[in-house]
Chain A
Amino acid sequence: MGEWFERVLDAVDIETFFACKDEKEGRVLAMQLMKGFGLKDADIVFIEHEGPGARVRARGYIHRAGDRYGWLEGGTDDE
Chain B
Amino acid sequence: MSKKAKVLLAPLDPVHDIGLKIIKRSLDEAGYQTILLPPDYSSEEILKVAMEEKVRAILVSRTLGYGVAELLARFVDMAEAVGIRENVKLAIGGMSIRPELAQELGYDAGFGPGTKPEEVIAFLENRKYEPEIRGAGKIKRDITKGFDYAYSNKNIEKMLDHIVTSIVGWGQNKTTPGIKRAEVRKGLLELPQGKDRTHLLQEYLRWCDAKVKEFYLEGTVLPKTRLLSKEELRKLERYVEETNKRMTLQVIQHSREKPVVFIQYGTGCPFMDIAHIKAGEAWGADGVVHFDPSWGARTEGFLEGYITHEEDGSIITPENLMGIKSSLSPHTIWQVRAHRGLNTPETVLLAGAMGADLTKINIAYGSLGGGTDPARLTMDAMQAIRYAVEYGLPFDVVTNEELCGVPAYKAFAGMLITAHLGLRLGGRPILQPLFCYSPEVMVSGDMDDNYVDFNAAKIMALRSIIRAPIWPGAPIGFLTQTEDRVQSSLSTALHGALAASLGVEAISIASSDEAYSGGPIAVPSRIDTLKALQEAFRFFGLSSIAPTENAQVWAERLEKGIEEVLETVAERGDFVAALYEGLLGSVAEGAYPGRSGRKTVMML
- Is A15 in the interface zone, CB < 8 Å from B? yes
Inter-chain contact B524/A52, CB cutoff 8 Å: no
Considering only residues 200-248 of chain B, those with a C-beta below 8 Å from chain A are 239, 242-244, 246-248
Binds B, one of A16-24, A34-42, A68-76: A16-24
Inter-chain contact B282/A52, CB cutoff 8 Å: yes
List B contacts of A21 (CB < 8 A). 242, 246
Considering only residues 1-55 of chain A, those with a C-beta below 8 Å from chain B are 15-17, 19, 21-22, 50-53, 55
List A contacts of B247 (CB < 8 A). 50-52
Chain B CB within 10 A, most for which of A15, A17, A22, A52: A52
- Is B523 in the interface zone, CB < 8 Å from A? yes
> Contact flags (1/0) for B445-480 with A, using CB distance below 8 Å?
000000000000000000000000000000000000
Inter-chain contact B527/A51, CB cutoff 8 Å: no
A-B contact pairs, 23 of them (CB 8 A): A15-B524, A17-B522, A17-B523, A17-B524, A17-B527, A19-B239, A21-B246, A22-B246, A50-B246, A50-B247, A50-B250, A50-B279, A50-B282, A51-B243, A51-B246, A51-B247, A52-B243, A52-B246, A52-B247, A52-B275, A52-B278, A52-B279, A55-B527
- In chain B, what residue has the closest Cβ to A15? B524
A61-B577 Cα distance, complex, nearest whole Å: 66
A68-B527 Cα distance, complex, nearest whole Å: 37
List B contacts of A53 (CB < 8 A). 279
Inter-chain contact A51/B275, CB cutoff 8 Å: no
Residue ranges of A at the interface with B (Cβ–Cβ < 8 Å): 15-17, 19, 21-22, 50-53, 55
Inter-chain contact A50/B524, CB cutoff 8 Å: no
> Contact flags (1/0) for B410-423 with A, using CB distance below 8 Å?
00000000000000
A52-B246 Cα distance, complex, nearest whole Å: 7
A16-B275 Cα distance, complex, nearest whole Å: 14
List B contacts of A16 (CB < 8 A). 524
- Is B537 in the interface zone, CB < 8 Å from A? no
List A contacts of B523 (CB < 8 A). 17
Inter-chain contact A55/B248, CB cutoff 8 Å: no
Which one of B239, B244, B248, B522 lies within 8 Å of A50 (CB-CB)? Answer: B248
Inter-chain contact A51/B524, CB cutoff 8 Å: no
Which one of A17, A19, A22, A51 lies within 8 Å of B248 (CB-CB)? Answer: A51
- Is B391 in the interface zone, CB < 8 Å from A? no
- Is B283 in the interface zone, CB < 8 Å from A? yes
Inter-chain contact B283/A50, CB cutoff 8 Å: yes
A53-B524 Cα distance, complex, nearest whole Å: 11
The 7 closest A-B pairs by CB, nearest first: A51-B247, A50-B282, A51-B246, A52-B278, A17-B523, A51-B282, A52-B279
A53-B281 Cα distance, complex, nearest whole Å: 12
In the complex, given contacts A17-B523, A51-B243, A52-B279, what are 5 additional A-B residue pairs having Cβ atoms less than 8 angstroms apart?
Answer: A17-B527, A22-B246, A50-B246, A50-B282, A52-B246
List A contacts of B242 (CB < 8 A). 21
Considering only residues 249-298 of chain B, those with a C-beta below 8 Å from chain A are 250, 275, 278-279, 282-283
List B contacts of A51 (CB < 8 A). 243-244, 246-248, 278, 282
Give, as a whole number of angstroms, the nearest-CB distance from A73 to chain B.
27
Inter-chain contact B279/A17, CB cutoff 8 Å: yes
Give, as a whole number of angstroms, the nearest-CB distance from A28 to chain B.
12
Inter-chain contact B244/A19, CB cutoff 8 Å: no
- In chain B, what residue has the closest Cβ to A20? B246
Give, as a whole number of angstroms, the nearest-CB distance from A47 to chain B.
10
List A contacts of B250 (CB < 8 A). 50
> Contact flags (1/0) for B496-539 with A, using CB distance below 8 Å?
00000000000000000000000000111001000000000000
- In chain A, what residue has the closest Cβ to B274? A52
A22-B283 Cα distance, complex, nearest whole Å: 15
Give, as a whole number of angstroms, the nearest-CB distance from A60 to chain B.
18
List A contacts of B282 (CB < 8 A). 50-52
Inter-chain contact A55/B524, CB cutoff 8 Å: yes
- In chain A, what residue has the closest Cβ to B282? A50
List A contacts of B524 (CB < 8 A). 15-17, 55
A19-B246 Cα distance, complex, nearest whole Å: 12
- In chain A, what residue has the closest Cβ to B485? A15
- In chain B, what residue has the closest Cβ to A23? B98
- In chain B, what residue has the closest Cβ to A21? B246
List B contacts of A19 (CB < 8 A). 239, 275
A53-B242 Cα distance, complex, nearest whole Å: 11
- In chain B, what residue has the closest Cβ to A19? B275
List B contacts of A17 (CB < 8 A). 279, 522-524, 527
A52-B282 Cα distance, complex, nearest whole Å: 7
Give, as a whole number of angstroms, the nearest-CB distance from A29 to chain B.
14
A22-B282 Cα distance, complex, nearest whole Å: 13
List A contacts of B243 (CB < 8 A). 51-52
List B contacts of A22 (CB < 8 A). 246
List B contacts of A50 (CB < 8 A). 246-248, 250, 279, 282-283
List A contacts of B275 (CB < 8 A). 19, 52
A21-B522 Cα distance, complex, nearest whole Å: 20
Give, as a whole number of angstroms, the nearest-CB distance from B110 to chain A.
14
A3-B44 Cα distance, complex, nearest whole Å: 50
- In chain A, what residue has the closest Cβ to B245? A51
Chain B CB within 10 A, most for which of A17, A50, A53: A50
A19-B243 Cα distance, complex, nearest whole Å: 9
Give, as a whole number of angstroms, the nearest-CB distance from A13 to chain B.
12
List A contacts of B248 (CB < 8 A). 50-51
A43-B278 Cα distance, complex, nearest whole Å: 27
List B contacts of A15 (CB < 8 A). 524
List B contacts of A52 (CB < 8 A). 243, 246-247, 275, 278-279, 282
A55-B524 Cα distance, complex, nearest whole Å: 7
Chain B CB within 10 A, most for which of A15, A16, A21, A51: A51
Give, as a whole number of angstroms, the nearest-CB distance from A48 to chain B.
8
Give, as a whole number of angstroms, the nearest-CB distance from A14 to chain B.
11
Give, as a whole number of angstroms, the nearest-CB distance from B58 to chain A.
27
- In chain B, what residue has the closest Cβ to A24? B100
Give, as a whole number of angstroms, the nearest-CB distance from B326 to chain A.
16
Give, as a whole number of angstroms, the nearest-CB distance from A75 to chain B.
30
A52-B276 Cα distance, complex, nearest whole Å: 9
